[in-house]
Structure 1
Amino acid sequence: MDVLKQVFLGDFMPHGMCYMWKPGLLWLHVSSDSLIFLAYTSIPITLLYILKRRQDLFFSKIMALFVAFVLLCGFTHAIAIWNVWNGAYWFSGAVKSITALVSVATAIALYKLIPALDAIPTVHDLQHQIALRNNKEKELQTQQQLLERYSTELIRSNQELTQFAYVASHDLKSPLRGIRQLNTFIKEDLENAQIDLPESVQQHMKLVDTRINRMNKLLDDLLEYSRVDNIENDIEESIEIVDCNHLTQDLFELVNSKPNFKLSLSDPLPTVLTLKTPLTTVFRNLFDNAIKHHDKDQGVIDVKVEEQDNYYLFTVSDDGPGVAPDYHEKILALFKTLKPRDQVEGSGMGLAMIKKIITRFGGNININSDLGKGMSFSFQWPKETLVRQVFSLNTTQ
């Protein structure tokens, strides 16, 4: 008890005696120290409130030191008021010594922050950065408008090209039928007149038939290619359950023109809920391509599948002559073939049509082949959920 009295009361004369207990002078110091104490107390409370709300502030540690420093400074003024009527100078000195230590620590910490403070952008720097950002945003907006314009033009051009392909393939059918009929009339007239044509002329007549059939096939494929983008409007009526085992077997039997060819299913294929027509087109053209370009009268076409997150990865392989890697991209292009048209019948559109369909449904197609090592086509086909998403996206464009 005596120790506490010694610390807080002390044996020294109170500070008021130095003021000679003059009321004006005494209350001048007391009121000033009171206001300083209240101000110094409110400052750290405000800083603590800011630190609590913004714990991400870079200067949170230095602010904590400022809180301690200002609070201790306020206590020194509160003790000064106490010592007006008491002589607790040991206690006052102890608080001042603690305040001195905190003050020195704060000064050192603040000195170490000089590089970080120098790195803080000035108002001019911020205004310059904002101006640059606004200019970039204007440039991006301009580029976005150009892209939207180009996109609109591209969509319009694609629609016009698709319409042109449809009209051309449809309207050219009529004169082609006329040419075919005229060629038939010529052969019938020659037969009725019992005229024996030279072998070369007969070959030319057969060549005309072959070219007519090729042109007809080209127009059919062109028409089908132009219809790839015309997906049905009602997904609920178009989507259906497809057993890929039955689908591939039926298509193979349909396109197989060589009795010694066989279809092999490495594993049972899945039953999927999808749009049947485009999937049928893909398998039919892959089978037709494998059989048509095979260098032997017998061969095997193998179909297997691997399930992925949102896709089925189908692989159609054959044991044919294969294609060198340099030509893999070429054979997927429109109207491209690696053999003369008189050697292998085809329009050069089958693989291009496959690529367009698969790309339309958000998938990829890859070729794995080399000369003399057969050929494998791997393509992704979307599962039901993704089919609906792609369908919805396509119909809104």
Structure 2
Amino acid sequence: SAMTAFMVWRLLPDLVALPGPGAHRAKQSELEAEVARRRQAEAALQVALDELSRVNQELESRVAERTADLTAANEELERFAYIASHDLRAPLRALMTVPEWLRETLRERYGSVDDDLEVDLREMEVQSGRMDRLLTDLLTYARIGQSGEFWEVIDPEAKIRESVALAGVPEGFEVQIEGDLP
């Protein structure tokens, strides 16, 4: 019929434009090449992920090893601090009694203690008292790791002043604390 011929005639350009077997083969080759590239990229990505995983495990192993070493070193330091401070306290306590013994001896022999010597004896008492506090603090530090206590609220300004007093400020120097401390 004329109508069928007219419809076919209108669709003819579209029918002629349909790809033939050569175009299909070319497109198939392009798709196969793209699939191959993607598979290579996926394989390379998997290799990179495997390497990243291996390096990550190696780093985690190193961190665990170093953490164990650090923990052992800290435990050894705590043991040393405890033993050292404990062993130093006995001779220090003996030294702390020397100024009073000297006073008693001097009073028995001479009736009194020279003022200059008294100043020196008091300084011995002050310094041995400081040493005793340091050893007590060292013992406390060594026990912290054993007791699980880790936090203490302190007054920073008081601690700074105490540290300055323990260290001794040279004559002519002054330590100033400016501003509010946390």
TM-score, length-scaled by structure 1 = 0.34
Corresponding residue number in structure 1 for 2:159: 289
User: 1:377 is matched by which residue type in structure 2?
Assistant: L
CA contact (8 A) 2:81 2:138 kept: yes
Residue 141 of structure 1, CA deviation: 1.8
User: 2:178 is matched by which residue type in structure 1?
Assistant: G
Quote the Cα distance in structure 1 between the aligned partners of 2:180 and 2:12.
87
Corresponding residue number in structure 1 for 2:4: 88
Of 127, 130, 152, 1:278 maps to: 152
Alpha-carbon RMSD across the aligned residues, in angstroms, is: 3.9
Corresponding residue number in structure 1 for 2:121: 205
Of 157, 164, 167, 1:341 maps to: 167
User: 1:278 is matched by which residue type in structure 2?
Assistant: E
Q: Give per-residue Cα distances to partners, 1:49-103, cap 9 Å, x unaligned.
A: xxxxxxxxxxxxxxxxxxxxxxxxxxxxxxxxxxxxxx83433444555677898
Quote the Cα distance in structure 2 between the aligned partners of 1:171 and 1:93.
113
User: 1:289 is matched by which residue type in structure 2?
Assistant: K
Quote the Cα distance in structure 2 between the aligned partners of 1:101 and 1:128.
40
Q: Which has the higher helix share?
A: 2
Q: Give per-residue Cα distances to partners, 1:177-212, cap 9 Å, x unaligned.
A: 122123322222222223545444333222211111
Between the aligned residues of both structures, percent identity stands at 18
Corresponding residue number in structure 1 for 2:100: 184
Q: Which runs of 5+ in 1 are unaligned?
A: 1-10, 13-86, 108-113, 233-274, 294-336, 345-370, 379-397
1:339–1:205 distance in 2 versus 1, CA, 3 Å: closer
User: 1:221 is matched by which residue type in structure 2?
Assistant: D
Corresponding residue number in structure 2 for 1:155: 71
Q: Residue 376 of structure 1: SS of its match in structure 2?
A: coil
Corresponding residue number in structure 2 for 1:377: 181
1:135–1:209 distance in 2 versus 1, CA, 3 Å: same
Q: Which has the higher strand share?
A: 1
Quote the Cα distance in structure 2 between the aligned partners of 1:201 and 1:100.
124
Alignment of 1:99-118 (within 5 A): none
1:206–1:149 distance in 2 versus 1, CA, 3 Å: same
| Highest RCO, 1 vs 2 (Cα 8 Å, sep ≥ 6) | 2
Alignment of 1:1-397 (within 5 A): 11=1, 88-95=4-11, 97=13, 121-229=37-145, 230-231=147-148, 278-279=152-153, 282-283=154-155, 286=156, 288-289=158-159, 292=161, 341-343=167-169, 374-378=178-182
1:88–1:218 distance in 2 versus 1, CA, 3 Å: same
1:187–1:123 distance in 2 versus 1, CA, 3 Å: same
1:100–1:185 distance in 2 versus 1, CA, 3 Å: farther
How many residues get paired? 165
